[in-house]
Amino acid sequence: MLEGCTPWPAEFAERYRRHGYWRDQTLGDLVDIWANAYGDRVALISATQRVTYVELRRRIDRLALHLLRLGLRPTDRMVIQLANVPEFIYLYYACARVGVLPVMTLPPHRFAEISYLVNFSGAVAYAAPAQIKGFDYRQLARELRQVVPGLTHVLIAGEAARGMVSFDELLADPIEEREPPERLVAARPDPSDVALFLLSGGTTGLPKLIPRTHNDYEYNSRASGAVSGIGPDTVYLVVLSIAHNFPLASPGLQSVLQAGGRVVLCDSTDLADQFALIEREGVTHVALVPALAIRWMEASTGDRVEASRRHDLSSLRVLQVGGARLNPEPAARVRPTLGCQLQQVFGMAEGLLNYTRLDDSEEEIVQTQGRPCSPGDEFRIVDEADRDVPPGELGSLLTRGPYTIRGYYNVPEHNRRAFTADGFYRTGDVVRLSPRGNLIVEGREKDLINRGGEKISAEEIENLILGHPGVSNAAVVAMPDPLLGERTCAYVVPKPDATLDLAGLLRFLEAKQIARFKLPERLEVVDSLPLTTVGKVSKKDLREDIARKLAAETRLAAGPNLQPGADPP
């Protein structure tokens, strides 16, 4: 196992193999298995490409040989920041074939996040688009190289700049005619070793890396596919960022390829484009965060539907919603408005995946976040002293199993807090059990903002705000939002004589080059921060304060006549 990663104890590994959870196949082996089993069936569809399983293997192998030729070696790390394009899939499996370890990042990440991840992972390679919406990733690559001389390889989807390599160039060069294919056999990694790193939701100041092995990640998608109705006739639309665990492997594109289905990549945030793809390709399955699911429902109901969005969505069978809590009210509207079945997904990049089952009762599907997808998953719901709470009562969720990590990469101190002595991961989620044994997510203990499924570490943003010359103290909390569920609110105590407004704070934070979704959307300037009895900032008080203020503002905006029963503001 790669240094800095925690393996499963031998008796667990033995058990996971005995039960058939782990098959000792690499993610790269899958590419061969798929090509042999599914041949000329269509595997992948994007705006510009239709690729069969055999062609998929050809492109992946070609890219894998090029990675070796460029000098990349097993366990080398590559930070990947690609959008929903075919190159992502080629590269992910090419890396898996030769043991190069992708570090999965998101297109909105900027210099601050990417440079940290390149450094922390010791990456020697970076893969990115040329540009998206006016942001030039080649410029980011140049800036990275100035601070990380070890960043030897830059791969660009689109037009490369000097000193960078373009995917088009590599994919057009038939290297397999010059290099013996045995090179790939020789480079095959150990299935029990790390295959990729996912990013953690982030509860501390700096993001942590989640090492996922070939064995566990293959099972992750296989077990997920089995409870999601994924089969050879599945047409799966990827609209969320492809590097997220949810669309990647939970069940995601990986389980669809395992089953011989079709993956349709959508790189547009425009609903009309998304709906047009559903109609054109006959999409059956899609994974969304609650905010996007709600937008889809609004766009397809009643008279408000614009002509451009009037598309036939009748091929949709399963709408998977996860990443943040979906309230029962929108959950109940999925079938009437979109005409398909809802499946709630409560998952985490660290492992455990809960799904409502397709044959659960409507009530269970609307009211709960499902149950673990593998019989090998273990979970406990515990009180502050790690004692099991009685069934049905609230507690924090602990878990371990055949696809749940035993430790983050290279953070031994943090791991002692994030895992129990017997290897359970402390999810930080507060849950209870429904009478039928499904989990209901009621809240969380971890200090983050879940902005429509995108996780923001409060501590990370607080540390940045504290660097502002006019700030004496700061706390960042979630404020309720009807669409995104939560947005970020910053409480700031200015230094004497300093004045501060949101625009000024944002200018300061933007200069730090962080992803825009992390920027606070409201600033509350206060004289002091409320403290708990032990002298820590009371985020609970702050969350209640901002929720109260927002509720009062909403009432005011609605006007007294519209809210006859409401309390006076």
Least distance from ligand OOB to the Cβ atom of residue 540, Å: 17
368 counts as binding ligand OOB under rule CB under 6 A: no
246 counts as binding ligand OOB under rule CB under 6 A: yes
281 counts as binding ligand OOB under rule CB under 6 A: no
Query: Among 476, 492, 13, which residue's Cα sits nearest to residue 215?
Result: 13
State which of residues 324, 433, 478, 546 lies at the interface with ligand OOB (CB under 6 A).
324
* Residue 221 half-sphere exposure toward CB, CA atoms < 13 A: 23
| Residues composing the chain | 569
Q: Decide if 5 contacts 231 (C-beta within 8 A).
A: no
Query: Among 291, 312, 306, which residue's Cα sits nearest to residue 240?
Result: 291
Distance CA(384)–CA(38), nearest Å, equals 51
Least distance from ligand OOB to the Cβ atom of residue 438, Å: 11
Instruction: Locate 558 and state its tokens.
Output: 């609605």
347 counts as binding ligand OOB under rule CB under 6 A: yes
Least distance from ligand OOB to the Cβ atom of residue 444, Å: 5
Region of 48-56, 168-176, 319-327, 532-540 interacting with ligand OOB (CB under 6 A): 319-327
Please give the helix or strand (H or E) that residue 256 lies within, else none.
helix 252-259
Instruction: Locate 404 and state its tokens.
Output: 């749940």
State which of residues 189, 260, 323, 423 lies at the interface with ligand OOB (CB under 6 A).
323
225 counts as binding ligand OOB under rule CB under 6 A: no
118 counts as binding ligand OOB under rule CB under 6 A: no
In the complex with ligand OOB, the residue whose CB is nearer, 171 or 394, is: 394
SS3 82: coil
Task: Name the β-bridge partners of 425.
Answer: 399, 419
Distance CA(22)–CA(220), nearest Å, equals 10
Phi–psi pair at 368, nearest 5 degrees: -125, 165
State which of residues 121, 250, 337, 488 lies at the interface with ligand OOB (CB under 6 A).
250
166 counts as binding ligand OOB under rule CB under 6 A: no
SS3 536: coil
- Which residue number is nearest to ligand OOB in terms of Cβ? 347
In the complex with ligand OOB, the residue whose CB is nearer, 28 or 322, is: 322
In the complex with ligand OOB, the residue whose CB is nearer, 81 or 166, is: 81
197 counts as binding ligand OOB under rule CB under 6 A: no
State which of residues 322, 330, 351, 376 lies at the interface with ligand OOB (CB under 6 A).
322
Q: Decide if 353 contacts 250 (C-beta within 8 A).
A: yes
Region of 53-61, 342-350, 374-382, 474-482 interacting with ligand OOB (CB under 6 A): 342-350
Q: Decide if 501 contacts 492 (C-beta within 8 A).
A: no
344 counts as binding ligand OOB under rule CB under 6 A: yes
Query: Among 456, 262, 428, 287, which residue's Cα sits nearest to residue 355?
Result: 287
In the complex with ligand OOB, the residue whose CB is nearer, 325 or 406, is: 325
Region of 138-146, 189-197, 266-274, 344-352 interacting with ligand OOB (CB under 6 A): 344-352
% helix, strand, coil for the chain, step of 5: 35, 25, 40
Least distance from ligand OOB to the Cβ atom of residue 397, Å: 8
In the complex with ligand OOB, the residue whose CB is nearer, 153 or 325, is: 325
Please give the helix or strand (H or E) that residue 292 lies within, else none.
helix 290-299
Measured in whole angstroms, the distance separating CA 458 from the mean position of its chain's CA atoms is 18
SS3 22: coil
SS3 166: strand
Region of 17-25, 143-151, 327-335, 339-347 interacting with ligand OOB (CB under 6 A): 339-347
Distance CA(173)–CA(123), nearest Å, equals 25
In the complex with ligand OOB, the residue whose CB is nearer, 76 or 429, is: 429
Least distance from ligand OOB to the Cβ atom of residue 345, Å: 4
325 counts as binding ligand OOB under rule CB under 6 A: yes
In the complex with ligand OOB, the residue whose CB is nearer, 397 or 474, is: 397
- Continuous H helices in 20-136: 27-38, 53-70, 86-98, 111-121
Query: Among 209, 221, 452, 171, which residue's Cα sits nearest to residue 326?
Result: 452
State which of residues 28, 99, 129, 201 lies at the interface with ligand OOB (CB under 6 A).
201
Task: Name the β-bridge partners of 347.
Answer: 353
CA distances from 167 to 88, 92, 158 (A): 10, 13, 7
221 counts as binding ligand OOB under rule CB under 6 A: no
Residue identified by tokens 């807090």 is 417
Least distance from ligand OOB to the Cβ atom of residue 217, Å: 12
Query: Among 254, 252, 187, which residue's Cα sits nearest to residue 31?
Result: 254
455 counts as binding ligand OOB under rule CB under 6 A: yes
217 counts as binding ligand OOB under rule CB under 6 A: no
Least distance from ligand OOB to the Cβ atom of residue 388, Å: 20
In the complex with ligand OOB, the residue whose CB is nearer, 189 or 347, is: 347
In the complex with ligand OOB, the residue whose CB is nearer, 189 or 453, is: 453
CA distances from 120 to 81, 113, 411 (A): 16, 10, 11
Instruction: Locate 353 and state its tokens.
Output: 């995946």
262 counts as binding ligand OOB under rule CB under 6 A: no
In the complex with ligand OOB, the residue whose CB is nearer, 29 or 350, is: 350
Least distance from ligand OOB to the Cβ atom of residue 250, Å: 4
CA distances from 402 to 38, 126, 396, 418 (A): 28, 30, 20, 18
Q: Which of residues 417-446 bind ligand OOB (CB under 6 A)?
A: 427, 429, 441, 444
In the complex with ligand OOB, the residue whose CB is nearer, 293 or 479, is: 293
In the complex with ligand OOB, the residue whose CB is nearer, 46 or 369, is: 369
Binding residues for ligand OOB, per CB under 6 A?
201, 245-246, 250, 322-325, 344-349, 353, 369, 427, 429, 441, 444, 450, 453, 455
